[in-house]
Amino acid sequence: MDFSMLCQERAETIDFTDESDDLIAKAQAGDVAAFGVIFEQHSRFVYKFIYAMLGDRDAAEELMQETFLGAYKNIGGLRGDARLRTWLCGIAKNLFYKDFRARRYQNAGSTEKIESFNLADNKNLLPDREFLSKELNQVIGAALSGLDEDKRTVFVLKEMQFLSYKEISEITGFSIPKLKTDLHRAKIEMRRVLRPYLEAKK
């Protein structure tokens, strides 16, 4: 199913003023147009999360589509107390790491490195005040790629997507104290990697 095309038709069949719970209920009842609204409302967020983690526009678009395909197939299992956005992000996270491990395996034994992140896209992924140039974006992307999975996830979700610790805990299944520790260590590592670049620019 191409959800991008689906969303082009959703306005004729459903009212955008519907509350999220109503949309979920309709989608769970098999209303494809309702799921199209869910896609339109949340696809940008999911894309940004995957792109920040992966750094590849085409791959991020593909994984975003896979995320919503998985969500469409499993929307019936979404609990009433679960936040839709965190549920979608959890699906995206699992798909990303499956894809990331596959890429790492394919590149094992070769001299070719996995492509570093490139966060300087035309979608204004991050605030301009934080990323001053394409060169700096590439340095930041390379620093992100050096973090382990847990630290990269909490850094992207907290510092780039501005989610709360509670939301990140729901996505990852980790305790808030662990998330805070991982974020603190991620920031230390990011500062360590970025310091030579920033000092050279003074």
Domains of the chain: 1-115 (1.10.1740.10), 118-202 (1.10.10.10)
Confidence (pLDDT) at 130: 43
Confidence (pLDDT) at 104: 61
The model's pTM? 0.70
Nearest partner of 152 among 172, 191, 176, 182, judged by Cα: 182
Confidence (pLDDT) at 9: 41
Contact at 8 Å (CB) between 119 and 137? Answer: yes
- Both tokens of 10, joined, read 């959703």
Instruction: Classify each residue of 46-79 as buried b or exposed e, where b means 16 or more C-beta atoms within 10 Å of its C-beta.
Output: bbbbbbbbbbbeebbeebbbbbbeebbeebeebe
| Single-letter residue type at 2 | D
Confidence (pLDDT) at 121: 43
Q: Which residues of the chain have pLDDT under 70?
A: 1-19, 80-82, 103-134, 202
Q: Which tens digit of pLDDT belongs to each residue from 11-59?
A: 344 343 445 788 899 999 999 999 999 999 999 999 999 988 887 889 9
> What does the alpha-carbon distance between residue 33 and residue 13 come to, in Å, rounded to a whole number?
6
Q: Measure the CA dihedral 93/183/187/193, to 10°.
A: -50
Confidence (pLDDT) at 202: 65
